[in-house]
Copies of this chain bind each other. A is one copy, B any other.
């Protein structure tokens, strides 16, 4: 439902006398969300964005986490939580045994209505140490119902490993390319294909990688065209962005 339709509906009910002035004003002031005290659940977001509000686990207490998850499940019948600690994941597994946990990615979700649709999304990593971020993207895309294809450990130190996979990558709708250290892989991939490439820098490395600054700068400065970048280690953001592109293909 568009914002225009929302306003039209209230105006018509007010015009017909179905609702009173005060009520109409308050409706127009307060787009639909539910306040549970500690958090405002944005149920409207699912309509607006095609995905319910994501629960960002970091720094939340166990109690708040469960309360928010229950609230979302009651209204939206599904939820996804990211950046969970080991303890938070265990709590959610016990509380929601029907859910799916990704222990490398620190993600947990519950959903009962997943059907695959849209174009295939290639998830490509430079090294095996980048896998947790790839799994974060994968978990997100499984929740969102996108077909995926994993191409792991094809970093630029052995470029021929990548070259043999290129035709497969070209047939995808979009590629998520994940790399730490110098983060050069997205540039090389984007130089060879004509699909959008989403670069995900990771914090894998040491010394002058500065927790991911090195691959982040690499990807932002790419001399190849067709790359856009998300935050360091942000597999979730890459997955969601890829979903927005692929569902239209």
Contacts and interface: CB of A to CB of B under 8 A. Distances in A.
A187 B183 CA distance: 10
Interface in A190-210: 190-196, 198, 201, 203-210
A60 interface: yes
Interface in A50-105: 50-51, 53-54, 56, 58-60, 64, 68, 83
Measured as residues with beta carbon below 8 angstroms from the partner, the interface class of chain A is 35 or more
A45 interface: yes
A194 to B, nearest CB: 5
A202 to B, nearest CB: 9
14 contacts: A7-B25, A11-B14, A11-B25, A30-B164, A33-B160, A38-B128, A44-B158, A83-B206, A155-B223, A157-B225, A173-B248, A209-B231, A214-B221, A220-B232
Given A181-B223, A196-B244, 6 more contacts: A11-B25, A12-B21, A33-B158, A159-B192, A206-B231, A218-B218
B4 A167 contact: yes
A39 interface: yes
Interface of A: 2-4, 7-8, 11-12, 14-15, 21, 24-25, 28-31, 33, 38-40, 42, 44-45, 48-51, 53-54, 56, 58-60, 64, 68, 83, 119, 126-129, 131-132, 152-161, 163-164, 166-167, 170, 173, 181-184, 187-188, 190-196, 198, 201, 203-234, 236-238, 240-241, 244-245, 248-249
A76 B216 CA distance: 33
Work out how many copies of this chain go into the complex: 8
A22 to B, nearest CB: 9
A24 B159 CA distance: 20
Nearest to A8: B25
Contacts of A59: 129, 132, 204
